[in-house]
Structure formats: C-alpha cells, structure tokens
Amino acid sequence: MTERVYASLKEAIVSLKVRPRDYLIIGEVAKHYNISRTPVREAIILLEQEGWVENEGRRGAKVTVPSVQQVMEVIEMQAVLESYVVRQAISQVTDLELELLSQILTQAEAALAQGDLDLSIDLGNQFHDTLAIRAGNQRIGSQIIQLRQHMDRVRPLIWKVTQAPVEESARQHRQILKAVVDRDSMEAERLMMKHTLWFEAELAAALEHV
C-alpha cells in the first residue's frame, strides 16, 4: 500500500496536480485514499528522501520549490550520467532496439509536425529512458529517470514550451541516434553531453525571466 500511495502522490507532484508550496497533510491524504495513516506517513518519508517534499511537522509536508542552483545541479548530474550510459548502451543495444529507438523519434517528429509539443517531449524522454535502461546498470538508469522526473516538474514552471526548442531537441536526438547506430561511442558521448548542456542553457535563459 505504501508504494501505491507513494507512486500516486509522486505522479500528482510531477504532473503539477499538486503544486510547489502545497501541503500534503497525512490525515487528509489518508482520508482521500480511505486508508490508515501509516502507509501515507511512509510514502511521504520516501518522497522526502527523494527531495519532492519537506517535512514541516504539524503543518504537513510541503512540496518543494527547486532553486535555480538545484535545477542547474540536477541538469549537470544528468549530463554526466547520460553521457556515460549512452557510451555503455552502444555495446549492449541490439539492431531490433535500434529500430525501436528510431521509431520513437519518428513518432516524436510526427507529434511535433502536428503541433503536439507535449507528446513530442514525452517521446523524447522515452528515447532517453530507453538508452538508460540499455546501459545495463539498473541503479544509474533509475537515477537518470528520477532526475528527469524532477525536470518534468520544473520545465512548465520556468520554460514556456514553443516549437523552436522542441524542434532543436528532436534534431539533436537524431544526431545521437546516428552515433549509436554507427557504434561511435566517443561521438555519442560527446553529443549527449552537448545536448544536455544545451538544455541547461535553455532553462538558464528562462530562469532569468521567472
């Protein structure tokens, strides 16, 4: 039950159904799910450990508001980890999986052409997650996905999604995939680092106007 409550609350935070600075009150959450307080308390502890909430005692657990420094640190961690995993994935990925990665990007490009920017972004994230999984290191893969979830929450708060950056991101994804298909690990690593740091620059520019 704890895991179910944790997953549900985390989804609500990531999707901004529960906004930054909102409070999670154990009694209210337990009543909402029609369960006892114990699994709610345990779920909130897990969320606190991952940085999603801050425990403020009797006031409840406040959904965190990431600082500019925290956002930049998360992206820099992503850059290091994702550059590593794409290099590792090259020795693991099969031809069938390469076809799957290409299909994901084709779907993302189709969504972009139809003006569905959110879907295109989601598919781009799926591309990253698939590479992370294929690196063969479950712990690092899980860490990358968790970092991305933090960015999923931050992005709509500080970056008004427009066509141009999503198009640029899609173009960079194709470059990364080409390097993976060519089994060029050094080029894939370089392009992934460049891609992630480009995203950092995009967010940094947006943060100046928040």
Per the structure, the count of domains in the chain is 2
CATH number at residue 197: 1.20.120.530
DSSP tag of 143: H
Residue 98 belongs to what domain range? 68-207
Both 20 and 124 in one domain: the answer is no
Please write the tens of the pLDDT for every residue from 32-47: 989 999 999 999 999 9
Both 200 and 106 in one domain: the answer is yes
Q: What is the pLDDT of residue 193?
A: 94
Q: What is the pLDDT of residue 140?
A: 86
Q: What is the pLDDT of residue 11?
A: 85
Both 44 and 99 in one domain: the answer is no
Both 149 and 201 in one domain: the answer is yes
Domain boundary among the residues 63, 79, 112 is at 63
Q: What is the pLDDT of residue 207?
A: 66
Q: What is the pTM of this model?
A: 0.74
DSSP tag of 64: P
User: Which of 84, 117, 36 lies closest to 189, judged by CA?
Assistant: 84
Both 55 and 89 in one domain: the answer is no
User: Contact at 8 Å (CB) between 148 and 86?
Assistant: no
Q: What is the pLDDT of residue 17?
A: 86
Task: Kindly state the helix (H) or strand (E) to which residue 54 belongs, with its residue range.
Answer: strand 53-55
User: Contact at 8 Å (CB) between 152 and 204?
Assistant: no
Residue 155, token pair as written in the block: 């992005």
Q: What is the pLDDT of residue 114?
A: 94
Q: What is the pLDDT of residue 200?
A: 79
Q: Which residues of the chain have pLDDT under 70?
A: 157-161, 207-210
Please write the tens of the pLDDT for every residue from 125-140: 999 989 888 877 788 8
